[in-house]
Each structure stands twice: as structure tokens, then as C-alpha cells.
Amino acid sequence: MSSFKVTVAYDGTDFVGWQRQASGVSVQALIEDALEPLDGRRVTVTGAGRTDAGVHALGQVASFTLEREVDASTVLRAVNARLPPDVRILTAETVAPAFHARFDARSKTYRYRIWNVDVVSPFERRYVWHVPGALDVDAMDTAARSLEGRRDFSAFQAAENDTATTERTLFSSRVVASPPQLFYEADGDGFLRHMVRTIVGSLVEVGRGKRPPEWLREVLESRDRTRAGRTAPASGLFLLGVHYD
């Protein structure tokens, strides 16, 4: 028996998300299907986070156990040979059987990309939110930083969210300009469904001057989703990496 930790990158545009669904193609299902011929049985793959439909990953982490004794390099080659080109196992390593990609994670880092000029490149359109017009980056960054710490993020969750608790810790929440792009980057111990995308939608309201920076903290403290901005498109969101002790 062999247990593995793998790092996965994928273009999420055409998938229903990470998690296997009753219909539609998911990243989890693709990897599980690719592992089945290698192990001769159905293999369950656990991801560190459940990215939504259309969300991308540069450093998703997953774990699984094979009944066969196989080395990590064989897993890497065999799985990639059976995956479509928009999903790739970047690294594979053997781990203790107790390792769990989700429960052992200390934090996850997400990055959201905003394309902030009048015209978006056709080579970027699948991976950004195109927001033309001037944005006040300093005001957006001030607002973003106000969310750092242990907070109740229920005002920024999807309406259908069913988690046991809506409290999460953001270790870092920042907006950085790199023209023609803006990045919102957040590192935290967990994220509610649509949390990053709703924060970004609210930050754009601040950037456009429709709201002052302190408004974001007011929304947070209200715990009322209707007070926040729109949910930004999935296309701009990337799971950048997952961190372990």
C-alpha cells in the first residue's frame, strides 16, 4: 500500500469545479478515473479545497492511497498520460498513510486577477475579470487589510453555504497593482464558498469610489450578504497554493 500527496494545476474554465458532481466534468473525477487503471480499483482522491466551477488552480494539493506498491514517479507519469491537457499533476511524493490534504493544511492562498484597462487581451480573457475604468488601488488595499484576523465572514458567503461555522482567519488580505492588472491576494486557514469572489466584488465598489474603504468592515460586521457587492466572476480566481507545517 502506498500513500501520496500530489500538487495539481488546472484551467478550471470547462469544469464544474474540483469536486465530483452528479453531472458535468470535475477535476477530482478526472484524477480518480486516471488512477483506476493504475490500481485496478476505484480510488478516492481528497483535495485540500473545493474550487467552484470555472475557478483555476496553480497549486491545488490532493491525497490518496493505492493498494499497489508504486513509486511517485510512476504515479506522476501514469496519471498525466490519462489526463486532458488542461489538468496536470505537477509533483507527486509518498507520504504517511495518515496524511490528509484538507485536514492537515495550515493555510491556503488565493489570488484574484483583475484586468484594468479598456481592452482585455484575448489570451487573458479566460483568466481575469475585465474591469475598465480607473480604480483607487490604495483605497482597495486599505479596505482589504481591514478584513485580516479572525472574523465571521457570513456577509461574504454564497447564499447556499451550509458550513458549520462561518468564522475564518485571514492571515493576509492585500490588493497590489501591476498594470494593467490588479491582484487581490488572500492567505487564510479556510474560505467560505464564494468568499474571495464576493470580497473582490466589494473591493471593486471601493475602487470605483462608490464606497469608502471603511464600508467593507461595516459589511463584515453586519453579517448580511445583501450588504456586500456582487460576486466577481470565477474566471479571475486561482488557488495559488496550500501550506502545511
Say what the pLDDT of residue 45 is. 97
Say what the pLDDT of residue 164 is. 81
Find, among 238, 240, 154, the residue nearest to 195 by Cα: 154
Q: What is the pTM for the complete model shown?
A: 0.95
Element (H, E) at 203: helix 195-207
Say what the pLDDT of residue 194 is. 96
Name, in order, each residue with C-beta under 8 angstroms of 228's C-beta and a sequence gap of 6 or more.
Answer: 155, 156, 198, 201, 202, 219
Say what the pLDDT of residue 245 is. 83
User: What are 53-108's pLDDT values in tens digits?
Assistant: 999 999 999 999 999 999 999 999 999 999 999 999 999 999 999 999 999 999 99
Model confidence at 48, pLDDT cuts 50, 70, 90, reads: very high
User: What are 206-241's pLDDT values in tens digits?
Assistant: 999 999 999 999 999 999 999 999 999 999 999 999
Cβ pair 224, 200 in contact under 8 A: no
SS (H, E, C) 139-159: HHHHHHHCCCEEEECHHHCCC
Q: For residue 162, is pLDDT > 80? A: no
Say what the pLDDT of residue 33 is. 96
Q: Which residues are catalytic?
A: 52
Q: Which fold has domain 106-244?
A: Alpha-Beta Plaits (3.30.70)
Model confidence at 159, pLDDT cuts 50, 70, 90, reads: confident
User: What are 163-197's pLDDT values in tens digits?
Assistant: 789 999 999 999 999 999 999 999 999 999 999 99
User: Which segments of the chain belong to CATH 3.30.70.580?
Assistant: 2-94
Strand partners, 65: 3
Say what the pLDDT of residue 190 is. 94
- State whether residue 179 is helix, strand or coil: coil
User: Which segments of the chain belong to CATH 3.30.70.660?
Assistant: 106-244
Query: Which residue is listed with cell 454564497?
Result: 158
Residues 149-162 have a mean pLDDT of: 89
Model confidence at 1, pLDDT cuts 50, 70, 90, reads: confident
C-alpha distances (whole Å) from 93 to each of 36, 120, 210 are 18, 39, 48
Residues 107-118 have a mean pLDDT of: 97
Q: What is the mean pLDDT of the chain?
A: 96
Q: For residue 202, is pLDDT > 90? A: yes
Say what the pLDDT of residue 6 is. 98
Instruction: Annotate 194-231 with b (16+ C-beta within 10 A) or e (fewer).
Output: bbbbbbbbbbbbbbeeebebebbeebbeeeebeebbeb
> Per CATH, is 2-94 categorized as 3.30.70.580?
yes
